[in-house]
Structure 1
Amino acid sequence: MTLWDLVRAALRRWPVLVVGAVVTLGGVYATTLDEGVYWSRTQVVFLAPPSTAYPNALRTTSEDLIITAGVVAKAVSGPDAVTKYASPDATLVGEGVRDGWSVRLPDTGGQWATHFAEQVLYVEVVAATAEEVEERQHAIIAQIAHELDALQRDARVEPVNDITVTVAPESTVVHQVKGSRARAAGMAGVLGVAVTLSLIVVLETRARLGLGRAGAVTPLSPATGHGPRPPRSGRPAAA
């Protein structure tokens, strides 16, 4: 089908063209209404109990702290499988999540290995408003502290030896994330035009195939139900 064939087909199928244009314009307009989402990530650091040998709890790192952080993260997140990222810097917004949260122990081993090197939990929240992000984040941090305390009480740890948590940064930083409206509108327009023209081509192709089949059928004689008889010879009949 040439370009002019497509133009003529679009004119013949003008109802399809009108409906496609209306739907496409509606999709383009809908993309301009998207205000994006609000996202926040904070770090909950697990601190060893201070001692004479290690007075600075922030600089104390141990495998026990990392294991404890992982256990608490699992208790908060639930038994579902943890998504493996190629980088710990991957975000929920990058995954396409528009409403949700996650608590995870950063894995620096890449895509094919596992390596937990920090006693830190990444707390991410995505929501439609900044207020909802702050509310969820505070609730998750409080749940982390509660699960850690319950874990240590069940293990009968003396309070003087308790592992504690702190939030860094302490203030909740909420970012608004939104894409390019121009790109979104352009892509919606391109998809709408492509779908409309594809539908017109399909309808034209089916119509042509239907006409071809109808032309290939030999009309039957109304009297006998058979096709037309072959022409008679021009010689006169014998007397």
Structure 2
Amino acid sequence: MTFWGLLRAVLRYWPIVVAGAVCTAAAGLAILSDEGVYSTRTEIVFLAPTSPSNPNALRTQSEDVIDMAGVVAKRLTGPGEVPKFAAPDVTLVGLGVRDGWSLRLPDTGGQWSSNFATQRLVLDIVGPTTEAVRERQDELLDRVQGELSALQSERGVADVNRITALAAPETTVIAHVGGSRPRALAMTLALGVGAILTGVLVLERRRLRREFEQGSLLRHGEAAAPARSDRQRVRR
């Protein structure tokens, strides 16, 4: 189709163009009004009880501590299956979540098996404001401490033998996450124009096909009419 043909098609189907332009403008306004989100990823390290033989709790690695961290996470998140991603550093923002939280034990295993090799939980929080994220962060950290204490109290663990949990201070920073508005607007405009032109071209091709079919039927009808007249004259 030539440029002038496309221009005539655009003018012919102007309601489609107007509707597409309104939708594109609405999407652009939504992008301009989007203030982004606030996110934080907090690491909660579980520490084994210290003893004369293990005075440094940070260096003590134990499967029991890892198991305890997993149980605490399960008690907070529920019995549902935890989604497994290709990379353990996937964030909620990367998944498209704009308001929510997740708590999980990092799984570094492959497709067919799991591998929990670190005694820490990863707490991801996303919210519309810094205050909302900080409030939820404090609440969830308190819940982790409460569940850990309750688990050990239920089993009568002495204070000296108790596992403790500590949030890594450098991971509690709340950051603003937002995209590039000029790029988002440019992509929205490109998609909107592309959708409008696609709709116009589809309708124009259907119109041309109908005209071609109608023209073919008329030509066949005109060719068949003289043939019938000739047969009638022969019979007479």
- The TM-score bracket by the shorter chain reads 0.7 to 0.9
* Correspondence for 2:81: 81
Question: Larger deviation: 208-217 or 174-183?
Answer: 208-217
Q: Offset of 1:17 from its aligned partner?
A: 2.0
Aligned to 1:167: 167
User: Root-mean-square deviation (CA), in Å?
Assistant: 2.6
Gaps in structure 1 of 5+ consecutive residues: 220-225
CA distance in 2, matches of 1:111, 1:127: 31
Name the structure 2 match of 1:104. Answer: 104
Structure 1 pair 148/170, CA: closer, same or farther in 2 (3 Å)?
A: farther
Q: Give runs of aligned pairs for residues 148-163 of structure 1, distance below 5 A.
A: 148-163=148-163
Structure 2 residue runs without a partner (length 5+): none
Whether the 8 Å CA contact 2:43–2:171 is kept in 1: the answer is no
Cα distance in structure 2, aligned partners of 1:8 and 1:232: 46
Q: Which residue of 1 aligns with 2:4?
A: 4
Correspondence for 1:63: 63
The 1:113/1:170 distance shift into structure 2, 3 A limit, reads same
Map 1:173-184 to 2 at 5 A.
Answer: 173-184=173-184
- Report which of the two structures shows the higher radius of gyration computed on alpha carbons: 1
Query: Which residue of structure 2 aligns with residue 222 of structure 1?
Result: none
Which has more helix, going by share of residues? 2
Which residue is equivalent to 1:230? 229
Contact 1:29 1:185 in 2 (8 A): no
Match of 2:30, as an amino acid?
A
Displacement after TM superposition at 1:54 (Å): 1.2
1:200 CA drift (Å):
0.9
Structure 1: distance between partners of 2:80 and 2:187: 35
Q: Secondary structure at the match of 1:160?
A: helix
Q: CA deviation at 1:175?
A: 0.3
The Cα shift of 1:163 comes to 1.0
- Kept in 2: contact 1:69–1:119 (CA 8 A): yes
State the 1:14 CA deviation. Answer: 2.4
> What TM-score do you get using the length of structure 1 for normalisation?
0.86
User: Residues 233, 62 of structure 1: CA spacing in aligned structure 2 closer, same or farther, 3 A cutoff?
Assistant: closer
Q: Secondary structure at the match of 1:142?
A: helix
Deviates more, 1:117-126 or 1:22-31: 22-31
Aligned residue pair count: 230
